[in-house]
Amino acid sequence: MAEEKATFAGGCFWCMVHPFDQLPGVRRVVSGYTGGHTVNPTYEDVCSHTTGHREAVEITFDPELISYRQLLDIFWRQIDPTDPDGQFVDRGPSYRTAIFYHSPEQQQAAQESLKKLNESGRFAHTIVTEILPAQPFYPAEDYHQNFYLTHPAHYQRYRAASGRDQFIQRYWSDGHDA
């Protein structure tokens, strides 16, 4: 059984689990930290904006059931790719968006999807989401895992107040691909 990993930073990792978690072919989605210089950072370390890490999700998937390109399409629909300073109410470098590729094929697919989205004219501003080589991924503390399931009321309040859902509705409600 083949497995691959996809790693996406899309702001608050709580909001990045649910869109991928129940998809056929996705085996698991882990909230965590990547892209920084601190080994085994904690949530408090990352929130201090001194570790270089971003909140991210690491998705383990079966490429025979769901493609990396499909995961990229879902990723783009969860974020504001034009915001260089964070995502929605979450500000700072630990909330900046990025695609962390695990192979040259993933790098190429990510670059092609970014180019296609930029050329689509969907956004008035240039896309600033970075495409970076995968780095060590550190799972977040247990209480952050599957937050949408373990704390559904808190999760729904956060999403509603964050501006994320309103953004998604505004830019993706037409049902067209990027």
The one-letter amino acid at 91: R
Q: Is residue 85 part of a domain?
A: yes
Global pTM value: 0.95
Q: What is the pLDDT of residue 174?
A: 64
| % residues pLDDT > 70 (the chain) | 97
Tell which residue, 135, 138, 132, 133, has the closest CA to residue 43.
Answer: 138
In a domain, 39, yes or no: yes
> What residues does 131 pair with on adjacent strands?
99
Domain that holds residue 65: 4-172
What is the CATH number for 74? 3.30.1060.10
Q: What is the mean pLDDT of residues 81-103?
A: 97
**5 three-state secondary structure:** strand
The number of distinct structural domains making up the chain is 1
122 pLDDT more than 70: yes
Q: Is there a domain that residue 70 lies in?
A: yes
In a domain, 177, yes or no: no
Residues labelled as active-site residues: 12
In a domain, 178, yes or no: no
